[in-house]
Amino acid sequence: MKPIYVTQPTLPPLTEFIPYLEQIWDNKILTNGGTFHQQLEQALCEYLGVKHLALFANGTIALITALQALRITGEVITTPYSFVATAHSLLWNGIKPVFVDIDPTTLNLDPDKIEAAITPQTTAIMPVHCYGYPCNVARIQDIADNYNLKVIYDAAHAFGVKDNNGGLLNHGDLSVLSFHATKVFNTFEGGAIVCPDEKTKRRIDHLKNFGFVDEVTVVAAGINGKMSEINAAFGLLQLKGIDDALAKRKMIDARYREGLKNVAEIRCTNVGKHSANYAYFPIFVEHNRDALYEKLKANNIFGRRYFYPLISDFPMYRGLPSAAQSNLPVARQMANEVICLPMYANLEPEQQNFIIELITTGEKNECK
């Protein structure tokens, strides 16, 4: 059997991409805000229900720029249960991350624990909508308002997630998306910052273009964060199939839940189906997660332990007081138990049945 990875991008037929390439070849504008770049920004604003969005070369540079755009300094409260890019974006800005534990249900920053971590140096909160599961945005905003803090959401996983007020991406001061090849919506590499007003969008556009405002004026030490025309064109094409891809993911999610419901050692998440985009399918294995992980691998099933190790365990973070084991018990437990099972639109039912069988049948003690 061919390897089955944790994710696999859904690619449209190559022939459908050729006309886009022809247009790029005709125009000879390859990057720096060309036609496809403008069209994709517009199309994503409409699809996601957001006012303004600035495309980026990837999500990490978008995170770094989001912090720079709001002039964040000092300390920022964030989660250890995420991809390392979340905290790295703080270090790239000379900001000290302060790790706060997560809620065991949402797997996101626990609002009850945020206030105790605020100091006079705290300027912002950077929560993550982990796996696309919404943070408690109302509680986080209340805390931010009380302490005059900015909120920048790492929404790398949250493409298209809705909440009661519409798009989840409309919360906080800024939200940052990733369009990496492994994501629900991808542009090979890519990302975006969602922002509420024209003025902030202008500043972000300057910052992603070295700080240039016009031919002779540079206002900040900006970076090259621009998305190329090829990536933007691919995004426009991908967008046509996104609803179909999300519907397929939803079915795969349901099949896993049904297939795994009687396995005592395994917990699935329970965050409210209306608010998910089925970006990942994490399971939590109470005893000896790695035995199951290795068993799957031996059968060519390459799940991933997102997010193990915790960010706070990496060498550049583990000396921080907030990285102490005793500060992050829930995050640590989740990191030690998680396996993200293969989840992508084109995962075949037979492949999924094989994965479920491996987990459920016969050697139950293997995942003990």
Q: Which residues bind ligand T4K (CB under 6 A)?
A: 5-9, 58-60, 82-83, 85-86, 128, 154, 156-157, 178, 180-182, 191, 302, 304, 306
Report in angstroms how near the CB of residue 192 gets to ligand T4K at its nearest: 10
Q: Where are the alpha helices (DSSP H) in the chain?
A: 14-27, 35-48, 59-69, 85-92, 137-147, 198-207, 229-240, 242-260, 289-298, 329-337, 349-360
Q: CB nearer to ligand T4K: give 222 or 303.
A: 303
Angle in degrees, CA 168, 340, 283, rounded to 5: 90
Instruction: Sort 291 into a burial class: Cβ within 10 Å, 0-12 / 13-18 / 19+.
Output: middle
Report in angstroms how near the CB of residue 182 gets to ligand T4K at its nearest: 5
Residue 99's CB is within 10 A of a number of other CB atoms, namely 25
Q: CB nearer to ligand T4K: give 270 or 346.
A: 346
Bridge partners, 349 (sequence order): none
Query: How, if at all, do strands 174-178 and 150-154 pair?
Result: parallel
Report in angstroms how near the CB of residue 227 gets to ligand T4K at its nearest: 11
Q: CB nearer to ligand T4K: give 128 or 266.
A: 128
Q: CB nearer to ligand T4K: give 6 or 338.
A: 6
Asked whether 349 and 125 are in contact (CB, 8 A), the reply is no
Pick from 157, 154, 128, 357: which is nearest to 249 by CA?
157
Report in angstroms how near the CB of residue 296 gets to ligand T4K at its nearest: 13
d(CA 352, CA 252) in angstroms, rounded, equals 8
Q: CB nearer to ligand T4K: give 289 or 304.
A: 304
Q: CB nearer to ligand T4K: give 68 or 265.
A: 68
- Angle at which helix 242-260 crosses helix 229-240, to 10 degrees, equals 60
- Taking CB positions, which residue lies at the least distance from ligand T4K? 59
